[in-house]
Amino acid sequence: MRRGALPALLLGAVLTLVSGCSGDDDGKGGKKVPDGPSQAVVNIAPKDGSGNVATSGALKVTAEKGTISSVKVADDKGHTIDGKIADGGAAWEPTTHLAASTKYTVDAIAKDKEGRTSAKHAAFTTLTPDNTFAAYFTPEDGSTVGVGMPVSLNFSRGITDPKAVEKAIKVTAEPAVEIKGHWFGNDRLDFRPEKYWAAGTKVTMTMDLNGVQGREGVYGTQNKTVKFTVGRSQVSTVDAETHQMAIVRDGKPLKTIPISAGGPGHSTYNGQMVISEKLEVTRMDGRTVGFGGEYDIPDVPHAMRLSTSGTFLHGNYWSGSSTFGSENVSHGCVGLEDERGAGDPSTPAAWFFNQSLIGDVVIVKNSHDKTIQPDNGLNGWNMSWAEWNKDS
């Protein structure tokens, strides 16, 4: 036993000696990093201490004689900026814009070909814009809307860089559905899915416009999240020829109501229209919509706007009961029988008003008029999905 113990001890010592003399292992199974300074050089633009820095295109991190391994860009509240490594590891660029009037810090690390690291820190402040634009949006945060409700944004200044602005606005839905944006001119951007929203859908719109240059020298200022819920499905179809409106709720017929549409020379637009506003009582003056002094009714009850140009579905107390279901006598609106003052909940107009949500769809057919323009109200549903996506 003593003769056998000595060779075992000697063998252990030899193994220990061999293991300890290995010069190309870092103790973790990898190549040992040689001593000495890193050959990699990190460059950060803009320079440390810079001010009035542009919110897009100015920030870039590069590495000479090495590759970027990590970059962290954060504002003074700890919010970080996403970015990506490019040029085979030689550069890093942000994937989004920076906020205006904000101080940022940059901490970057690069490695040379031997694995030795080099780090650099810099801080800078972005510009404070002299001119800004704002986005006015619908629907409101926390609202419950109908299945036809788009997300619609109107900008206070005409946008000449729509790509930058649209990139800063995200609209998502649960359950998920493809949603695309479409520009009407240079000051309005709407988002919708291919078909009406499914009942119960929860929609989130996020604006990250602070620092976005919408046109030369004009920057956005808003960062905001808006959430709304799609309620039950209600689609009502007005037949101007039969003078009837059929209401379908969640795919099932709910009720049919006699109506009076636009009369000769003042016919109602055809097409899919979305209720964008509900007014229990409102004034309607023909001079505001190009009809001169043909009418001025100070107390129109149960009015629901269908177009920007003045098309409403509303109560009518001044025409006889026999009008509804038999004649078209309006100046382009759709009228339902009602009582003056909007105080009688049993009238057809009051019932429909109380059953309707902003965002509900009203379809007009068989009228002697053209189809309404998609930008006349929230009526982008009158465009095919292919047309809608042309400017997306």
Residues acting as catalytic residues: 314, 333
Instruction: Name residues whose C-beta falls within 8 Å of residue 119's C-beta, 6 or more positions apart in sequence.
Output: 42, 107, 108, 109, 110
Cis, peptide link before residue 258, omega less than 30° from 0: no
Residue in 174, 184, 124, 119 with CA at minimum distance from that of residue 152: 184
The string of DSSP letters for 22-45 reads -SS--SSSSPPPPSS----EEEEE
Which whole-number Å values give the CA distances from 40 to 105, 117, 328, in the listed order? Answer: 21, 7, 81
For residue 89, give the 3-state DSSP assignment.
Answer: helix
**Residue 60 carries which side chain, given as an amino acid letter?**
K
**Residue 355 carries which side chain, given as an amino acid letter?**
Q
Contact indicator for 208, 223 with CB cutoff of 8 Å: yes
Give me 283's structure tokens: 């004034």
- Residue 53 CA to residue 56 CA, distance in Å, equals 9
Handedness of CA 10, 13, 15, 21 (dihedral sign): negative
Pairing assessment for the beta strands 296-305 and 277-285 based on DSSP bridges:
antiparallel
Give me 363's structure tokens: 């379809």
Pairing assessment for the beta strands 361-365 and 234-239 based on DSSP bridges:
parallel
* The residue to which tokens 């206070």 are assigned: 156
As a whole number of Å, the CA-based R_g of the chain is: 33
- Count of alpha carbons within 13 angstroms of residue 91, beta-carbon side: 8
Is the backbone of residue 241 left (phi > 0), alpha (psi -120 to 50) or beta?
alpha
Give the sheet arrangement for strand 67-75, strand by strand. 50-53, 117-126, 103-111, 67-75
Instruction: Name residues whose C-beta falls within 8 Å of residue 388's C-beta, 6 or more positions apart in sequence.
Output: 180, 182, 192, 380
